[in-house]
Structure 1
Amino acid sequence: MRMAETADNAGTAPGSAPGTPPGTGGGADTTARASGATGLRKASWKHIGPGIVVAATGVGAGDLVATLIAGSKFGYTLLWAAVVGCLVKISLAEATGRWHLATGRTMFDGWRSLGRWTSVYFGIYVVVWGFVYGATAMSSTALPLAALFPGMPGGLKTFAIAAGLIGLVLVWFNRYHRFEKLMTVLIGIKFLIVVYVAIRVVPDLPAAFAGLVPVLPDGSFLYTLGLIGGVGGTITMAAYGYWVNAKGWTDSSWMKVMRLDNRVAYLTTGVFVVAMLIVGAELLHASGIALASGDRGLVDLSDILERRFGTFTAKLFLIGFCATSFSALIGVWHGVSLLFADFVERLRSGSESRAEEVASGAREHTRPFRAYLLWLTFPPMALLWLNQPFGLVVVYGVLGAFFMPFLALTLIWMLNTSRTPGAWRNGILSNSMLAIGGLLFVVLCVQQVRELLW
């Protein structure tokens, strides 16, 4: 049976040369896309970018603290679950990017081809989710800043509002390429700091390798599901295809490049998660120390680090915490605004949404893009006065759980039908990973709703 992964070996389409930009060479590009046989560009590290953005956006403070708590309760035993989570997300992001490149159409255009219900679902979801996420992201960024500068008038609210406004300005006035450079700096900061902290606690390498063997200790089932399902993003997974197009990758000649980019993204994500699991296992599990749930747990960790390693390490960790939260904030401000702009433009025009439109940067100038930016920034500020930033994290987690089953199952539908050129449809591996992910996210969604209601 053909596997989508083997399509890397496809030959060059007649009349087209490898690396030919879309729209050149007459009808060769259209023919090549339809046949799935366009010449593939050589995968090169110099092209990497959208994967860095999705890794910086997808791993927020909530992911880090959930991993910390798992490490504090079970040591290295659930390390294998973090690895499986990365593999599931690699499959999801690869499928998203493959849809954009193989078809030349956007994710929302694919959803719309499945029926009107997808537009209704997405429209309601993106409005409600954005309102809650805006407050969650601003509060999460404010927590480490308030700990670093405790004397600031207004405390948490002042820092939260400032984070939202700075994110708004950075995305409003910068196009994708500058945004990517900023995200690269932020992910570099948090990568170095998290790895530094993991090295400081001196990992038990034999125990870590033993944790790669799948084991479920008593009481670990829900933590295991959380680790697998929570590694790296919710709705931002769908934004990956838009960032791929914004980078200028608009046809299947970029498939190898996209796959390398995606693997680097989730290798980076895996390092984050493993590093935080090491910190939880070595610093907390061995000492029997419990952390608060939600982002507050990272502030607690900075206090523990200060007692153990001194003020410098504690302050450095808070800077990494801030970079983690702020990169997630501006990643959503940009990526989900692209999704929303595509959603509105397609409803207005009724025409197909093409990858070239996203690549041109035109989407970032539209009123729907900027309207959603404002929606993410200003209305959620009202929630800051509820004085329950950690409750917002819980509600956000539940809303996020509703999107991932939708994404996984619709990708299976879109990538196994004539909507996708034959050479780029799912194979056994892709279908298996997406099905496992979809089932997992359904279970997580049901569990999180139960926790919220009962």
Structure 2
Amino acid sequence: MTDRGTQDVEDVGAQQPRRRWSIVGPGIVVAATGVGAGDLVATLVAGAEFGYALLWAVVLGVVVKIALAEATGRWHLATGSTIFAGWRSLGPWTTVYFVVYVVIWGFVYGATAMTSSALPLAALFGGSIPAWGIPCGLLGLALVWFGSYRLFERIMTVLVGVMFVVVVGLAILVLPDVPAMLAGLLPKLPSGSGVYTLGLVGGVGGTITMAAYGYWVNAKGWRDSSWMRIMRLDNRVAYITTGIFVAAMLVVGAELLHTANIALVDSDRGLLDLDAVLAERFGPVIATLFLVGFFATSFSSLLGVWQGVSLLVTDFVRTRREAVARTPDELAAAGQLSDDATRSLPYRAYLLWLTFPPMVLLFLGRPFALVVAYGALGAFFMPFLAITLLWLLGGRRTPREWRNGWLSTTLLVGAALLFLVLCATELVDLFA
């Protein structure tokens, strides 16, 4: 459905066709944040194991993430509120989960992001992981602490451009088998491919940072339903771009590794194995360009989490202060974050938590208990997001014209079921 404000935006877009494309941005930020080095390795391994057979899972993953991000952005624009205000209106259980999650997850993720960003730099220039990881964390802290959203978005857009050009360029360089690619768009499950398939569908572009999309939409200046169509365009462009990027990595795995029967280490360090393969096959220049793309992928995730999850924590503190004397409906309509939220104490305190305590893990390794807690909490987040979006956007907390239709409901239910299966699979792997 289209309200009058949205129609006005459509009319402006028709008269100035460049305007829509010039303001696309928050979607690129959330999609780039969600694709890290671990997702690239998982995609490469899937391509190495099964060739092009699981390409359809990448396409399905794009559709699922478009639906989730659209629902998050729609809540912010339709209600004039935030996703965290909506969660809190559902009851105190959401708060308990979130607090435990952001404390443990942030501690372990901080070390993971700094390590992932350091790996390609250490391969390019020598030196240890802490010697590069600590400056990466400090650079991310400085950019997010002092920079505006506009600067943050521009840096993320540049990093996405580097990622895209390098990886798609590699896919073209290895000469993809087009008929096999087309055949891979037909859904099928080769023997032993179930876990890889779920990983590809679930891993295209984001976990907790998907919940930050609405905050980035607001930071862009989109604050009511008149921006709904622009938000949807932004979201689709971003995730289609991400889907092409992930599909390109699958092509590289299928052509470079599957045909030569080469196995990678199933961790971020697996990308260094690919660097060695590229150097042997195409020479040092291509291998160096790949390491540059590897760094852009890792550092964009670091920046996105530093900025986006800190906004979620800031909103957690704000809504907690407002929760005492409010009904659930009043909480759900608690308004948006102010423009100076990035200068608030909760925002900056969580930035410091993401940056400094995790540096200890760069020297000590990640303690087993923390890794298990990190993985378990992370596995629960995407089902939590999908189910709460179904709840919030399906009832009276959302204006009738912006509630879930049959397509949104179907996609969100499918996403919830998919991520519940992924959650169970990951928990079994963690505790096996």
Deviations 1:9-58 (A, max 9, x none): x3459xxx936xxxxxxxxxxxxxxxxxxx98648111101011112211
Aligned pairs for 1:230-379 (under 5 A) are 230-350=203-323, 352=331, 357-358=336-337, 360-379=338-357
TM-score computed with the length of structure 2 as normaliser: 0.93
The 2-side partners of 1:228 and 1:81 are apart by: 5
Aligned equivalent of 1:422: 400
Aligned equivalent of 2:77: 101
Aligned equivalent of 1:224: 197
Assess, with a 3 A threshold, how the Cα gap between structure 1 residues 12 and 234 changes in structure 2: closer, same or farther.
Answer: closer
Q: Which amino acid aligns with 1:67?
A: T
Kept after mapping to 1: 8 A contact 2:5/2:225: no
Q: Root-mean-square deviation (CA), in Å?
A: 2.0
The 2-side partners of 1:429 and 1:177 are apart by: 33
The 1-side partners of 2:152 and 2:256 are apart by: 35
Q: Which amino acid aligns with 1:379?
A: P
Assess, with a 3 A threshold, how the Cα gap between structure 1 residues 106 and 322 changes in structure 2: closer, same or farther.
Answer: same
Aligned equivalent of 1:34: none
Assess, with a 3 A threshold, how the Cα gap between structure 1 residues 304 and 265 changes in structure 2: closer, same or farther.
Answer: same
Q: Could you list the runs of 5+ residues in structure 1 that have no partner in the other structure?
A: 1-6, 20-38
Aligned equivalent of 1:47: 23
Q: 1:405 aligns with which of 383, 394, 399?
A: 383
The 2-side partners of 1:391 and 1:299 are apart by: 27
SS in 2 for 1:379: coil
The 2-side partners of 1:405 and 1:40 are apart by: 38
SS in 1 for 2:176: coil
Per-residue deviation at 1:392? 8.2
Deviations 1:384-441 (A, max 9, x none): 1223599988875543221000000000000000000000000111111111111111
Per-residue deviation at 1:234? 0.3
Per-residue deviation at 1:122? 1.1
Aligned equivalent of 1:437: 415
Q: Report the more deviating stretch, 376-385 or 274-283.
A: 376-385
The 2-side partners of 1:89 and 1:392 are apart by: 28
Q: Which amino acid aligns with 2:351?
A: L
Aligned equivalent of 1:171: 144
Kept after mapping to 1: 8 A contact 2:50/2:258: yes
Kept after mapping to 1: 8 A contact 2:104/2:370: no
Structure 1 ranges of 4+ moved more than 6 A: 353-356, 389-395
Deviations 1:134-165 (A, max 9, x none): 01101111111111112x3xx11111111111
Kept after mapping to 1: 8 A contact 2:33/2:301: yes
The 2-side partners of 1:319 and 1:363 are apart by: 33
Kept after mapping to 1: 8 A contact 2:390/2:412: yes
Q: Are 1:18 and 2:11 counterparts? A: no
Equivalent pairs: percent with the same residue? 63
The 2-side partners of 1:323 and 1:396 are apart by: 24
Assess, with a 3 A threshold, how the Cα gap between structure 1 residues 93 and 391 changes in structure 2: closer, same or farther.
Answer: same
Assess, with a 3 A threshold, how the Cα gap between structure 1 residues 254 and 389 changes in structure 2: closer, same or farther.
Answer: farther
Q: Which amino acid aligns with 2:92?
A: R
Aligned equivalent of 1:134: 110
SS in 2 for 1:18: helix
Aligned equivalent of 1:71: 47
Aligned equivalent of 1:31: none
Kept after mapping to 2: 8 A contact 1:245/1:355: no
Kept after mapping to 2: 8 A contact 1:41/1:254: no
Kept after mapping to 1: 8 A contact 2:52/2:254: yes
The 1-side partners of 2:11 and 2:420 are apart by: 36
The 2-side partners of 1:439 and 1:285 are apart by: 31
Assess, with a 3 A threshold, how the Cα gap between structure 1 residues 354 and 423 changes in structure 2: closer, same or farther.
Answer: closer
Kept after mapping to 1: 8 A contact 2:163/2:296: yes
SS in 1 for 2:76: helix
The 2-side partners of 1:320 and 1:385 are apart by: 25
Aligned equivalent of 1:446: 424
Q: Which amino acid aligns with 2:8?
A: P
Q: Report the more deviating stretch, 50-59 or 299-308.
A: 50-59
Q: Which amino acid aligns with 1:79?
A: L
Assess, with a 3 A threshold, how the Cα gap between structure 1 residues 396 and 324 changes in structure 2: closer, same or farther.
Answer: farther
Q: Could you list the runs of 5+ residues in structure 2 that have no partner in the other structure?
A: 14-18
Q: Are 1:197 and 2:170 counterparts? A: yes
Aligned pairs for 1:54-93 (under 5 A) are 54-93=30-69
Per-residue deviation at 1:317? 0.2
Assess, with a 3 A threshold, how the Cα gap between structure 1 residues 279 and 397 changes in structure 2: closer, same or farther.
Answer: farther
Kept after mapping to 1: 8 A contact 2:5/2:226: no
Q: Report the more deviating stretch, 99-108 or 48-57.
A: 48-57
Kept after mapping to 2: 8 A contact 1:250/1:355: no
